[in-house]
Structure 1
Amino acid sequence: MNPLGKGQFYLVREDVLTESMQKMLEAKRLLASGEERTIQEATKRVGLSRSAYYKYRDTVFPFESIARERILTIFIQLEDRQGSLATILQIISDARCNVLTIHQTIPVQGRANITLSLDVTDMPIKLDEFMHRMKAPSFIDSVHLVSSGAL
């Protein structure tokens, strides 16, 4: 086992990041989008010292920026309704994703499970927005990211 801080990576939810880390990520987003041109402008706008920005900039990254693999596997639990699969596939299509594999269980007591592997190479939205859209239909009980990996 590697000692902490020796090149090991962790995937954590945004709400457990320190305020400084969250501000640094926002400053990086402002720079990447062109809303701010310099680090000084971006850090001033988010209320972060430049030293804190430099401390975290090469160590904290959004999931999408380091997940070079553009294949996602998601697991969906849903109420069995006519047209539910078509609705899910439309959401996927609208997000410019390509379905690689799909498996749907036979509905039992009005509930079914779907496992999808998706190529998200051309997806123009962030992963959290995509997952939010997948959870939006009223017949969806839950959507879980199972894996992100290359073929």
Structure 2
Amino acid sequence: MEQNVKYYVVKDKAVPEVLIKVVEAKRLLTADKIMTVKEATDKCGISRSSFYKYKDDIFPFDDSSKGRNITLSIQISDEPGLLSELLAVVAKYHANILTIHQTIPVSGVATISLSIEILKDTGDLSKMVDEIGSLEGIFDIKILARE
């Protein structure tokens, strides 16, 4: 019987420490082909059973996104040049913009739906989203979909 699989995108502060350590152990194993699972888990301070239990279910968001599309919803202040700054961040990370839709601003705030293709040379997606969210005049940013 096939189970319905659901995926969630959460910020790292909401992820239990053991899962973060599993991701780190996987990174160590990828970086050092000679390292054993026992060595990687010892270095990260987790048990091998925890590693094997979660290794196929946790991964950094950007690792699985290459060649895929994401859609962001962004609440943005209606200020000249702010959309240009936002798009410059996307360009800086070498992502390809597929669509942009902006609502008419209400009370000085517009909603932008931005669909982005993640390419092979796209930088760290998490950092890109954080950098967009830290721009002056960005009120909220959410990842709506990942295809």
TM-score by length of 1: 0.79
Look up the match of 1:79: 77
Give the Cα–Cα distance (whole angstroms) in 2 for the partners of residues 39 and 142 of structure 1.
40
Look up the match of 1:104: 102
Match of 1:107, SS state, is coil
Aligned-residue Cα RMSD (Å) equals: 2.6
TM-score by length of 2: 0.81
CA 1:72 to 1:58, structure 2 compared with 1: closer, same or farther past 3 Å?
closer
CA 1:35 to 1:136, structure 2 compared with 1: closer, same or farther past 3 Å?
farther
Look up the match of 1:27: 25
Look up the match of 1:124: 123
Question: Percent identity between the aligned chains?
Answer: 35
Give the Cα–Cα distance (whole angstroms) in 2 for the partners of residues 93 and 85 of structure 1.
12
Map Cα deviations across residues 94-151 of structure 1 (whole Å, 9 max, x no partner): 01011111112222322112111111123121x32221011011110011111111xx
Aligned residues: 145
The answer to whether the 8 A contact 1:36-1:42 is kept is no
Look up the match of 1:135: 133
Map Cα deviations across residues 47-99 of structure 1 (whole Å, 9 max, x no partner): 11223222322333334444576111111111111111110110000010111
Displacement of 1:18 = 4.1
Runs of 5+ consecutive residues of structure 1 not aligned to the other structure: none
